[in-house]
Amino acid sequence: MIKDELDAAGLEGTDLRAAYAHCRAVNARDGKTFFLATRLLAPQQRPAVHALYGFARYADDILDSFDERDSALRAEQLQSLSDRLFGCLTGGVSPVGDPVLTAVVHTAHRYGIGWELFDDFLAAMRMDLTVTGYPDRPALERYMHGSAEVIGLQMLPILGTTVAREEAEPHAAALGKAFQLTNFLRDVDEDLARGRVYLPADELAVHGVDRELLLWCHRNGRSDPRVRRALVDQHAQARRVYREAQPGIGMLAPISRPCVQAALTLYSEILCRIEELDFEIFGTRASVGKPRRLVVALRGLAGAWWARSTVRRR
């Protein structure tokens, strides 16, 4: 299967193929749901997506590998990763011996992925070393651009479009942001345990909610009515961003649409689960059940097969 994907992508050279295979293995190990979603893409698209995941995982591992007291060490390692990445992108440094950088640099050059997107992503990762809350939505939006929107923008050249890429970009960015807003809502309890709040403080304050009240909910495993009202508003914001993202699916290359539609469907249904829980997200993690995931996946597989067979008949 790996060989088929590498062959379909036209990847040659033992080191390059091994680098992409490494990223695929990282995705399969650490990003099981995302990895399964890539099965809905055409084989020639998958290696590049695995490379982007591998790089994002690389940075995440730096953030997660050390005790909170080691922020200086993590900052140093993130800077080292940034220096090596841009050294490789400009041709001044060889990525030999680093399979993730070998694959992601090749992907960036091959698909014309803007280098500034990697810079913005790493800047957001550095924010997580020191920023534990956001005073308002503009501040959160700045973080989400680097941590979520750029992922959609990086993916766009690989997915392909039927319109000018610039026309599809706002929708691709919105989809990345919608996924992250969903995570923020689902993971409020988990983030509090890590000392972070990814909800705008001023919007929470409208409902009389502050960090102390959220921590009370975290300790007691239940939502205060004021917190519930605040979460309802945040839920509506996330729904709005999904509506902004949806038109972009029709702008993608037909072979890419089933995968992205399946991802949008499943992630947006996490919001449905949160609503069904009546926003009791403390001590309970909202998720989409396996039977529903299977139905969406099978529907996506059927759509992907049809799209690919249509391309082959042309």
* pLDDT score at 4: 92
Cβ atoms 262, 37 nearer than 8 A: yes
Which residues in the chain land under pLDDT 70?
65-69, 297, 301, 304-314
- Among the CATH numbers 1.10.600.10, 3.40.50.150, 1.10.10.10, 3.20.20.150, which is that of 131-313? 1.10.600.10
As a whole number of angstroms, the distance between CA 252 and CA 164 comes to 10
Closest CA to 252 of 180, 158, 178: 158
What's the pTM value of the predicted model, to 2 decimals?
A: 0.91
* CATH class of the domain comprising 1-115: mainly alpha
Q: Which residues in 9-27 are b (16+ Cβ under 10 Å) and which e?
A: bebeeeebbebbbbbbebb
Q: What is the pLDDT of residue 295?
A: 76
- Residue written as token pair 């969406």: 296
Beta bridge partners of 252: 161
CA distances (Å), origin 152, targets 53, 121, 146, 212: 12, 11, 10, 34
Say whether 131-313 and 1-115 share the same fold: yes
pLDDT of residue 114: 94
**Residue 129: partners with Cβ closer than 8 Å, 6 or more residues away:** 63, 71, 74, 75, 78
> CA 129, CA 147: separation in Å to the nearest integer?
13
| pLDDT reported for residue 314 | 52
Domain range list for the chain: 1-115, 131-313
Instruction: Give the integer Cα–Cα distance in Å for 56 and 38.
Output: 16
Cβ(11)–Cβ(47) under 8 Å?
A: yes
Number of other CB atoms surrounding residue 237 within 10 Å: 16
224 SS3 class: coil
Q: Residue 246: which of 267, 261, 266, 262 has the closest Cα? A: 261
Q: Assign 252 to helix, strand or coil.
A: strand
The HSE-up count of residue 198 (CA atoms within 13 Å, CB side) is 24
- pLDDT given for residue 48 in this prediction: 97
Q: What are phi and psi of 161, to 5 degrees?
A: -135, 155
pLDDT of residue 67: 55
